């Protein structure tokens, strides 16, 4: 089980690395000049590839997490696990929201500011930090 746990941590960290960088690409896309088609297309290509790669990492991370949960389920995991699972669902929602935002850039329909994307970029860091603290410290 330690191997499964180790790979789960690796894939979660890798998935979140994608979630840390993808909104940064959105910040850059939001600042691209309207006549800079090459730069816009380059950033969109990077964002598409990163989203697809991160999606694969997410699937593996979730699969390994379910494996750990299923093999260690004793019925008395504690409230920390319930809160962690809510945050994991939030991270999945954040991931899918990134897809929606990417789609709006592809359709030239983005209405959000660079500043909004800068704040949005920090949400994944907060989710990741909370999940790590809950998993390691198990405060309740």
pLDDT bin (cut points 50, 70, 90) of residue 71 is confident
Domain locations in the chain as residue ranges = 2-137
pLDDT bin (cut points 50, 70, 90) of residue 97 is very high
Mean pLDDT of 90-114: 97
Spatial CA neighbour of 3 closest among 76, 59, 55, 71: 71
| Spatial separation of the C-alpha atoms in residues 29 and 18, rounded to whole Å | 16
| Spatial separation of the C-alpha atoms in residues 94 and 24, rounded to whole Å | 14
């Amino acid at each position: 089980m330690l191997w499964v746990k180790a790979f789960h941590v690796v894939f979660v960290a890798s998935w979140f690395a994608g979630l840390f960088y993808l909104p940064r690409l959105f910040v850059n896309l939001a600042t691209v000049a309207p006549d800079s088609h090459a730069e816009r297309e380059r950033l969109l290509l990077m964002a598409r590839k990163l989203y697809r790669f991160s999606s694969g990492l997410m699937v593996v991370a979730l699969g390994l997490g379910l494996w750990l949960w299923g093999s260690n389920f004793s019925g008395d995991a504690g409230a920390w696990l319930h809160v962690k699972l809510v945050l994991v669902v939030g991270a999945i929602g954040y991931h899918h929201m990134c897809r929606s935002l990417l789609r709006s850039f592809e359709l030239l329909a983005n209405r959000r500011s660079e500043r909004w994307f800068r704040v949005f970029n920090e949400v994944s860091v907060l989710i990741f930090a909370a999940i790590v603290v809950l998993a390691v410290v198990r405060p309740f």
